[in-house]
Structures are given as C-alpha cells and as structure tokens.
Structure 1
Amino acid sequence: MNDQLKHLTDRVSKGLMTRREFVGRAAALGVTAAVANSMLAQAARAEGPVRGGTLKLGCSGGESTNTQDPALAASEVPISNLYHWGEQLVQVNEKGDLDFRVAESVEASADAKTWTFKIRSGIEFSDGKTVTAEDVLQTMQRHSDENSQSGALGIMRGIEGMRADGDNFIVELGTGNADLPYLMADYHLMIQPGGGIDNPGAGIGTGPYTIEFDEPGVRHGFKINPNYWDAENRGFAEFSEVLVLNDATARTAALQSGQVQLINRVDPKVAELLGRAPNLSVESVGGPGHYVFIMHIDTAPFDNNELRMALKYAINRQEMVDKILRGYGSMGNDFPINASYPLFDDSIPQRDYDMEKAKEHYAKSGHDGSPIILRVADGAFPGAVDAAALYQQSAQAAGIPLEIKREPNDGYWSEVWNVQPFCASYWGGRPVQDQMYTTAYLSTADWNDTRFKVPAFDEMLLSARGELDPAKRKEIYAKMAMMLRDEGGLILPMFNDFISGVASNVGGWVADPTGEMMGNKANIKCWLTA
C-alpha cells in the first residue's frame, strides 16, 4: 500500500491528480481523510522552497488601535507584523536554540556579566541604510526608557550598562546571567534605524518584507524586500497578508473557502472535524503557552489572599482541559512554567479543584458576598467565554458569587487586559524562566498584569540569574514558583497546545513550540507550493 500511496502522492505533486481525487483513492486503500491530507501536506513541505504568490494568514488578536511600534506589541497580529519587517539581535528556533539575526555571534565573560554581540557585517535596513552597532544601542536605549511603554522594559532594567564599540554591541550586567542572549530574543526588541526614536511605528527594519498597506483591525499587507540579507531562508511569497479575524468561526470559514492559507488558534472543538476537510491539515504542538484568569492583587477584593486562594481552589482544571482544550493541552498549577522550560521542577504538588477548601478560604476572606466580576471576551483565548462559564459554575458550587461580564473583542487588549482587576488572558510563554518571570512578575515590569510586587521574589530572580550551577538555579526557580502559586494573582488552569490550520499547498511548515504560527514566523518561513 505504501508504494501505491507514494505513486498517488507523486501524481498530485505533478499536477496529474487533484487533491480531492487523492483523498478518495487513499480512502479506498483504508486511509482516513485526515491522514491523507497530512500526507499531502508533508509531501509538499518536503519539496524545496517555491517563490512567488500571496500567502495569507487569518489571525486573531488584532485591534483598530494596533501600531507598528514594536514597544507596544501585545497580541498576535501586531507580533506577526513585526516579524515581517523586523529582526532582533537573535531569535529562538523550534529546537530552542539561538538563531543569530542582526548579530552574527555572541561571547560572554566567564562570570556572564559582560556580553559582546558582533553585529552582522553589510546588512541593511529596508530604507537602504547600513545597520550599525549604534543603531542597536539606540534601539536598546529606547526600550530602556520609562516613557517608551515597552513590553521589554522589565528585561532592560536588568542591564547596568550598554555601549557600541566598532562592530560590537556590549552589554554589562550587575549580576551574571547565562540567559541574557535569550532575553534579547524578546519580540519587542526589533532593531530599528536610530533605534526608532524619531518614528517608532515606521516599520523599517532588517526583515524580509516591507509594509505595503497598514489597516489596523482589518488587514496588513507586505511585499518582499529585494535587499533582504537572508533571502535563501526567509521571505518566499512575493506578498504576505495578515487578515484580522478575531472570530473563530470566521477564521475557520476563511481557511475552508481558500480566502487564507493559514489560521491561528483553531478552536479545539472543531479541530478534529477541520482536519478531515480536503486540502487542509490541523497542526498542533505543545509548548509554554497558557490560558489564564488574572487578578490585580493591589485592588480590592483581590488584595485579600484568602479570597485569591478561594478562587484558585474553585476552578476545575481537568474539566477545562477536557471540555475547552479537548485534550490539546495540560493542567496548569498557578505558575507560568511547565515541562517545556529548562529547570522545571515537576515535584511541585498539583493544585486540584477542591470545593471544601474553596469554601474554607472564602469564609476566611470575610468577603461581603457582592458579585466578583470576571471580564472575558471571545478573543481572550479560544473557548474563553465557555471556560468562564465553567468557572462560574464550579465557583458557585463553593458559594463564591462569580459574575461574568462579556466584553467586545475590539479594544480588549487596550481597555480590559492590564487595566481591569479580574479578566481572562493568555500568554505565549517565553524560551526561559528568567524571561517569563522578568516580563510578567518582576515588580518593575510594565506587563506585570497581576500587580505581583514582592521584594523577596525579585531578590530570588536576581539570585537565579547569577547562579551558574543548574541544580541550585532549579531550586531557586522552584521556590519562586511556590511563592507565585500560593501568594500571586495568577489563576492558571491550563497550558494550551498551539493549534493551527494549514492549507495543503503551504510548504515549509514545522512544529515550533516557541509560539503560535511557528513562533509568529509562519508567513516569512513558509511558501506556496501551488
């Protein structure tokens, strides 16, 4: 049968048989439609890159308030846009290794306090200007500015000094940090001419595309950058387009109709059915991404840890994995680290739904019984509204008056997340624990969306950075996890798989656990085979 399937696959690749005919013939040989489509997709992706055409992504996480300023990117559409025109010093690939971009190499002192990034020679910005170490320095200085509102500000605060020296960009740390290069892979840190100080939203960088049109909340278009330095490996489509499709049903319909070739955040409820459709495949990969409910611990009534603990025990994590993720993920434990991270401690006890403990902590909190408002929107994460409804039911069973307020998708990330004291959200995760904690839980981080400001936690984070012994570092991270789990405002019921819909005529797709849509790089790494 394998020879017959190979023969049929070859006929499709040569244009002698349609994909629909292939699926029918494969079914006669006992192969399901899902497996047949997967075989076609794998065959297409095994072929070399094909140039030309327009590759379209239907993507959630876009708003009318989005800009091209890397400092302000906070959801999937603006992040995907950044990777079209911009690059950092380094990126992290699907294997978790460093992928050198604007920097061609990096060296560290023995104590990991001084890091020297050698800037790649001869590369240009899309406006024709040669990239210099001074541009890198100015970029980092902009993201270090308290007025920049940069999502990378927490990372930059850990740097004591920076300078440009010839072709080198040099970073000085007060405390050694073996993970410093991974921190420089933060997607906000796109290198811009003059640091982007004069015009941060210009969309000028060293990436494979330039901006063709920019309609926030609707669509974004990019055309190939003819002077791109790494054209052999990225930027295969002549044009790339990102369509803002926050509604899951609309995204699925756009993929099935051929309006787009890629979609993010396939709803787990329809993933299996979608995978059976002709000319499509559903790709999923586990990683550090997580769906959450977040409380501001400096705002009543969430400034009461007894109430926070009651809300943590009142959520049925396994039910959410089963009913919301449909098995495309795993249970969370109220800290943002799982087995996809190095130095993860799997001995930390799993927190389960416990109605009696929820009642006990709620009684101790002395809460007055008024409604506890949880804000949610469809765009917060796939199944967020249903997840909130399940949460409400399990909380009410424990006597906790949880009330759901549904918010519109447009404006959710600017007007609800990191603004309202209790809401649904998601995190894509980060390559290393230091970056995840620094971005979201360090006291000084702008994206500290639970307002978790605990000096002892900050001290442990700094101590872990300077500890080069992996065993000792793991021990510190475990203590940090327990502190956040038992004192923080994070309710983390589940780690989600990244589920994407991919047309069979898309080549170059690889499973990448670093983030949605191949770490938001699918449009610049994939190509159209037909």
Structure 2
Amino acid sequence: MLKSGAAAGVLAATGLPVFAQAKRGGRLKVGLNGANTSDSWDGRTQSDIFMICSSQGAVFDSLTEVAADGSLVGELATDWEATPDAKTWTFNLRQGVTFHNGKAFGADDVIESLQLHVAEGSKSAAQPIVASITEMKKITDLQVQFTLRDGNADFPYLMSDYHLLMYPAGQIEEAIAIGIGTGLYKVQSFEPGVRMVATRVDSHYKDGASGWFDEIEYIAINDNTARMNALMTGQVDAINRIDFKTEALLKANPMIRIQEVTGNQHYTFPMLTNVAPFNDVNVRKALKYGINRQEMVDKILQGHGRVGNDTPIGPANQYFAGDMEQLAFDPDKAKFHLKEAGLDSINIDLSASNAAFEGAVDAAQLFQASSKGAGININLVQEPADGYWSNVWLKKPFCASYWSGRATEDWMFSSAYKEGVPWNDSQWGSDDSARFQDLLLTARAELDSAKRRDMYHEMQMILRDEGGVLVPMFANYVDAINNKIATPDTVGNLWQMDNARVAERWHMA
C-alpha cells in the first residue's frame, strides 16, 4: 500500500532501523564531484551531490525521508494523516529536537523554512512543491497543517525533497551563512567548491540508528581521474561516479570494492522548446531518431545501465511504462522529419561537459557522428566544468544534463516538466502539449491506482513522441569504496551515494 502513493496519507511512518553491527567511531573522507565555488547552505540553490551529501545527508534534516528500500519514513515529522480528498495534511513533529545552536525545533521552523521557497525572487527547484500549499497553519508547537490547492496523494514524499531543509525560525540568514541545522553532524569548516568538515552531534534523536562516524570530510574532486587517484592512494575512503574506462584498475586493488545500484538516474540532452529550431516538433523528432541509444549504453555506460526512451520515469518507478515501444535509431526517419520541418539539413550547437555526467563529451561526440548521416550537423561546444550548472544548463538552447529521477512520477514531472517551474530544462509547456499539463494535475489528485497508471503511461508516451528532452540512457549509480568502510545490505537508489546519506548510514568495518 505504501507504494501506491495514496497510502502515504494512511500509514504513519515511525521509527528508524537499528544497525546492531555498527559502532560509533572513526573518520570518513569522501571524494565527490558536483561541487561549485558558488555552493552554499541555501537549500534552494543546491543541485548536485556534493551539497546534497553535505546538507540533507549530514547537517540538516527534512520532514520526511526516503529510506534505502524506497519506503517513506519520518525524519523531523513522526507521522501524518490526510483528509479523504488528500487536500489537507496534518504532520506531527518530533519532540526534543534542537538545532546546532541550541534552539528547539517546532512548527514555526517548518513554516518559515518552507516559505523561503515561495519568497519573491526565489528560484528554488522546490518552488512548485511549496506553491501548491495554499495555507500553512501551526496547530501546536509540534503539529503543523497544510492545505493544498489540489489533492496530492504523494505530498509526504515531496516533503523529503533535498531542497526542503529545516532552518531555525528568525535565524535563517545566519543558519544559511554558517550551516545551522538539526542533522547528525555540525559544521566545523566549509570552503565552497573545496571541502566540508563536520563532527558528530552528541545526544541526537537518531542515536542508535544512524550517524556512526565521529567526523566526516567531503572533498570536492570534480575531475574523474583525480578522484580515482585519491581513492587508490588512500587520500579518501570512497568516491562517487567512477570512470568506467578505469574500472579494471579499481577492481584490481584488493582494498577497494565497486558498489553498483540500479535506480532512476538518467543522462539527458534537453533542448529549449521555446527557442528555434527546437520549437518545431519535427526537429525534435528528427533528433530523437538521429541518436543511437544502444551505442551510448555500450560505449559510455559499458553495460552499467539501460537504454532510455525519452521519458524520465525509470524502472524504479511504480508506473514505469516498460512495455512502451522503444524509439530506435533510424536515420531515414530522422531525414523524413527534417523534411517535414522544411529542411534538408540543420546545423545545431550542443554544449557539453563531463560535469553534466561522466562521459558526456564522449556521448555528445557519438551523437554528432550518428546524426550526421541524417543531415543533422552537430557542433560540439565543450564547456568548462566549473560553473556549468549556473552558466550553461537552463541557459544554452541544447546541452548535456542528468537527473537522479524521483521516487514518484508526479514529483519527477512536477520538478522538470510542469509549465513554468524553475528546473524545467526544456521549457516544456502548454504550447507543446496542453494535454500533458492537464494530465499532470488530474493524475496528482487521483487516488485510484489503475487510473493513475493509465494517465502516467499516456504522459510518458507524449514525452517520448513530442518531448524536448532526449533521454538516451538510464545509468546505474557506481561508486568505489575502501574495504575499511562498511555499507548496509540495502543501499538507496533515489540519489547517488546511498541517497546522499553516507554520513548517516555507513560506518567503519
């Protein structure tokens, strides 16, 4: 029932797993990519794994948490319930929680923290989540009620979004400046784009269930070769996103193991559908048939993933349309759609950097080669890694990108395909498909699972056939870890690095 979405409003989530084999102690050093000199403790601006691990994974908490097995559990909320129409949700908050500066946590902190995302000028990716709330009401110090504009069976899942960090009311500016949260780890030092060091908090509400290291250090290593070398030479205990071309070297080291998890992470090439020539659906279709997806899986992922079908809904989602006909590489069909657009050939710039995903530049070169025979001439623009997410993504008309995916279909669609939301990286809207936008709102409030399935399948078909995002492949999460570090039997697949919670869930072997 929990997986049905509607059940999230029926079943209370209480308690946390106890790891009897784990013991407190030790220091964890992790080399992570996805760091930028513009990084901060402002959850609204966070977009990649370095700050997700540092923030929601260590220093801050959210109301709910997606557990490693995909179920929803309470974090700062203990339980919740909804009215039958899923429009009004009441959350009970955990007692005895304090921020790192000693302030007690309560309903005021929840309301002020969420209001940040709809403040004037906010560009938070969680803005559409909070904007759907028409009223936030403090019932008691430890109970808060949300009234939504429309019913949403997935609302408790949305409260686990890594942007929705809880800050101390009345002190939010200071909390963002130096990193004051309720998490298991307290900030000792933070250099944006360089490193973060934090120490374990004593007498935490997660004692005995999470947070085994005395100290954690996250080091920003955006270059994949440098990241691998840091692990091989013992400078760090674990790294994310291994380079598959050097996987054999890692496997040959008896002190290192590879950890692979299948999830909804997908590598993409979004195009702005409100910018010519991508505003022409036939140009988009030509590009869809001009990309050789299987070649990318074979050469870029080297088997660590599967072919994508231009929809962000993946095999770990409940309503994944796995039986939908697969788009195939077909230069003749690509030529046909170019002619339908009134073109014999087309010249297109494609911006790429390995900051987008490991192998993004190589993938763009494969795309360049495969589409040439159809009259699609791709000019590859290699962008610098630093500042890629602030200077290229959402700004250049055609670029490389990636998404971790989301636990529910509505969460994914609402984050990246709802008209007008900040992270809609194709600017997909009603002009492209009014039907898609209507279905998004209807499916969200539908509690009948069979009806939701039909709607989400139709939405996936619309994106496959008309969408502005090429999704050539779903990539497994593949990390490398020193054997002195132990990991749980079940590793999370929502985000990289055990749902970015390595500081909480891993421990010394």
Using the TM superposition, give the Cα deviation of residue 370 of structure 1 relative to its aligned residue in structure 2, in angstroms.
Answer: 5.7
Return the alpha-carbon distance in structure 2 between the equivalents of residues 286 and 195 of structure 1: 41
Using the TM superposition, give the Cα deviation of residue 459 of structure 1 relative to its aligned residue in structure 2, in angstroms.
Answer: 1.7
Cα deviations by residue, 1:56-93 (Å, 9 ceiling, x for unpaired): 11101011111111110011111111121101000101
* 2:505 counterpart letter in structure 1: K
Structure 1 equivalent of residue 506 of structure 2: 526
Using the TM superposition, give the Cα deviation of residue 348 of structure 1 relative to its aligned residue in structure 2, in angstroms.
Answer: 1.6
* 1:99 counterpart letter in structure 2: V
Distance 1:506 1:77, change over 3 A: same
Structure 1 equivalent of residue 144 of structure 2: 169
User: Mind listing any 5+ residue stretches in structure 2 that lack a counterpart?
Assistant: 1-18
Distance 1:195 1:497, change over 3 A: farther
Which of these residues, 481, 487, 509, is aligned with residue 508 of structure 1?
Answer: 487
Using the TM superposition, give the Cα deviation of residue 148 of structure 1 relative to its aligned residue in structure 2, in angstroms.
Answer: 2.3
Mapping 1:116-515, distance limit 5 Å: 116-166=90-140, 167-194=142-169, 197-199=172-174, 200-367=176-343, 369=345, 371-454=347-430, 455-509=434-488, 510-515=490-495
Using the TM superposition, give the Cα deviation of residue 121 of structure 1 relative to its aligned residue in structure 2, in angstroms.
Answer: 0.7
* 1:527 counterpart letter in structure 2: H
Return the alpha-carbon distance in structure 2 between the equivalents of residues 97 and 143 of structure 1: 25
Cα deviations by residue, 1:121-140 (Å, 9 ceiling, x for unpaired): 11111111100111101111
Identity %: 40
Distance 1:368 1:361, change over 3 A: closer
User: Mind listing any 5+ residue stretches in structure 1 that lack a counterpart?
Assistant: 1-45
Using the TM superposition, give the Cα deviation of residue 196 of structure 1 relative to its aligned residue in structure 2, in angstroms.
Answer: 6.1
TM-score (norm 2): 0.92
Distance 1:47 1:248, change over 3 A: farther
Distance 1:88 1:196, change over 3 A: farther
Are the equivalent residues in 1 in contact too, given 2:344–2:375 (CA < 8 A)? no
* 2:497 counterpart letter in structure 1: M
Which of these residues, 33, 39, 43, is aligned with residue 60 of structure 1?
Answer: 33
Of 61-70 and 192-201, more deviation after overlay is shown by 192-201
Structure 2 equivalent of residue 6 of structure 1: none
Return the alpha-carbon distance in structure 1 between the equivalents of residues 50 and 134 of structure 2: 33
Using the TM superposition, give the Cα deviation of residue 224 of structure 1 relative to its aligned residue in structure 2, in angstroms.
Answer: 1.5
Using the TM superposition, give the Cα deviation of residue 367 of structure 1 relative to its aligned residue in structure 2, in angstroms.
Answer: 4.5
Structure 2 equivalent of residue 111 of structure 1: 85
Return the alpha-carbon distance in structure 1 between the equivalents of residues 63 and 296 of structure 2: 38
Of 196-205 and 230-239, more deviation after overlay is shown by 196-205
Return the alpha-carbon distance in structure 2 between the equivalents of residues 91 and 378 of structure 1: 30
Are the equivalent residues in 2 in contact too, given 1:69–1:202 (CA < 8 A)? no
- Kindly tell me the number of residue pairs found equivalent between the two proteins: 484
Using the TM superposition, give the Cα deviation of residue 345 of structure 1 relative to its aligned residue in structure 2, in angstroms.
Answer: 2.2
Return the alpha-carbon distance in structure 2 between the equivalents of residues 196 and 344 of structure 1: 42
Are the equivalent residues in 2 in contact too, given 1:137–1:195 (CA < 8 A)? no
Return the alpha-carbon distance in structure 2 between the equivalents of residues 161 and 271 of structure 1: 51
* 2:30 counterpart letter in structure 1: L
Are the equivalent residues in 2 in contact too, given 1:377–1:412 (CA < 8 A)? yes
Using the TM superposition, give the Cα deviation of residue 279 of structure 1 relative to its aligned residue in structure 2, in angstroms.
Answer: 0.7
Cα deviations by residue, 1:100-157 (Å, 9 ceiling, x for unpaired): 1100111111221111110101111111110011110111111122422211012122
Return the alpha-carbon distance in structure 2 between the equivalents of residues 72 and 504 of structure 1: 34
Return the alpha-carbon distance in structure 2 between the equivalents of residues 425 and 465 of structure 1: 26
Are the equivalent residues in 2 in contact too, given 1:134–1:164 (CA < 8 A)? yes
Cα deviations by residue, 1:354-381 (Å, 9 ceiling, x for unpaired): 1111111122223585631100111110
Using the TM superposition, give the Cα deviation of residue 47 of structure 1 relative to its aligned residue in structure 2, in angstroms.
Answer: 7.5
Structure 2 equivalent of residue 96 of structure 1: 70
Are the equivalent residues in 2 in contact too, given 1:108–1:114 (CA < 8 A)? yes
